[in-house]
């Protein structure tokens, strides 16, 4: 997949729920509606092909649920968006179901010569991250702080709404580097290279699921049961996620 095709696909999918019909919605006789973090775009549909999916940054999805969007199940890339909805009594108690890790991605040609995590603090380097509140961005800032690389934040040239936006910027050579989840790299494997982030500064990247109170509770609980079961954990593992 070329970088241009990746960005076009991400933009289209962010606006339209996957498999969505005009009259479908949570709580009616239509299919299950799953709001899922962008990094689960290639994974979540494998659990239920007939469901509708809305993929975006977890904070954006939480805001939509708070505003009354039709949703039955929320799959978040961090605990905080779910915890906020739980405090507002909009979702059930959350359940952790997988873990991930961060990597640095650079354009295939790597014109800035980024070879290590520490290079992100080099003056003049163009870095792209997820925005504040976007789990991938928050995790990235946590990793930079743990490594003593806060100076890298001065190199940020763009803050994206979700992790696929970060990947797209790097794939199109619009930045020298970005920080994404390891599982996202496959979506632009022809256009980016990976630079590892040391294990000792990796944040605890965990995914949480919660049934939306106003949605189709029965269908959501059935999906969640499959997600936590043997088949679901195998699908997560095959995608590079660490099963809970």
Q: Which residues pair with 243 in a beta bridge?
A: 98
User: What pLDDT was estimated at residue 244?
Assistant: 65
pLDDT for the residue numbered 69: 97
Question: Above pLDDT 90, what percent of the chain?
Answer: 84
| Measured distance CA(37)–CA(174) in Å, rounded | 23
CA distance to 134, 135, 178, per residue, from 201 (Å): 19, 16, 16
pTM for this entry: 0.83
Q: What is the average pLDDT score of the chain? A: 89
pLDDT value at 94 more than 50: yes
Which residues lie closer than 8 Å to 169 by C-beta, 6 or more apart? 128, 158, 160, 175, 178
Tell me the C-alpha to C-alpha distance, in Å, between residue 205 and each of 8, 102, 217, 243: 27, 8, 27, 12
Confidence (pLDDT) at 3: 46
Question: What six digits make up the tokens of 148?
Answer: 């003593």
Average pLDDT over residues 12-26: 40
The domains found in the chain, sorted by start residue, are 3-99+206-243 (3.40.190.10), 100-201 (3.40.190.10)
How does residue 243 score in pLDDT terms, banded at 50, 70 and 90? confident
**pLDDT-based confidence at residue 29 (cuts at 50, 70, 90):** low
pLDDT at 20 over 90: no
Reply yes or no on whether the pLDDT at 52 is more than 50: yes
Q: By the 8 A CB rule, do 92 and 215 touch?
A: no
pLDDT tens digits along 184-202: 998 899 999 999 999 999 9
Q: Distance between CA atoms of 20 and 16, rounded to whole angstroms?
A: 7
List, as one string, the DSSP characters of the chain: --HHHHHHHHHHHHHS-BT--TT--TTSSS--EEEEEGGGTTTGGGT-TTSEEEEE-HHHHHHHHHTT---SEEEESSHHHHHHHHHTTSB---EEEEEE-EEEEEETT-TT---SGGGGGSTT--EEEEPTTSHHHHHHHHHHHHTT-GGGGGGEEEEESSHHHHHHHHHTTSSSEEEEEGGGGGGGTTTEEEEE--GGG---EEEEEEEBTTS-HHHHHHHHHHHHSHHHHHHHHHTTPEE-
């Amino acid at each position: 997949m070329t970088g241009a095709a990746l960005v076009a696909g991400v933009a289209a999918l962010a606006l339209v729920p996957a498999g969505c019909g005009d009259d479908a919605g949570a709580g009616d006789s239509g299919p299950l509606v799953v709001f899922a973090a962008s990094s689960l775009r290639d994974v979540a549909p494998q659990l239920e092909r007939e469901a509708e999916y809305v993929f975006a940054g977890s904070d954006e999805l939480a805001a939509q649920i708070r505003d009354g969007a039709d949703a039955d199940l929320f799959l978040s890339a961090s605990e905080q968006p779910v915890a906020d909805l739980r405090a507002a009594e909009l979702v059930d108690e959350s359940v952790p179901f997988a873990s991930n890790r961060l990597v640095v991605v650079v354009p295939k040609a790597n014109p800035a010569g980024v070879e290590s995590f520490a290079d992100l603090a080099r003056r003049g380097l163009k870095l792209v991250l997820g925005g504040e509140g976007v789990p991938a961005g928050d995790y990235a800032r946590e990793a930079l702080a743990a490594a003593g690389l806060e100076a890298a934040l001065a190199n940020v040239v763009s803050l994206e709404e979700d992790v696929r936006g970060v990947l797209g910027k790097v794939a199109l050579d619009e930045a020298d580097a970005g920080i994404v989840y390891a599982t996202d790299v496959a979506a632009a494997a022809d256009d980016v290279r990976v630079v590892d982030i040391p294990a000792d500064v990796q944040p605890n990247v965990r995914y949480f699921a919660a049934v939306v109170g106003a949605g189709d509770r029965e269908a959501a609980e059935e999906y969640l049961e499959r997600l936590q079961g043997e088949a679901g954990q195998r699908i997560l593992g095959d995608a590079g996620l660490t099963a809970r």
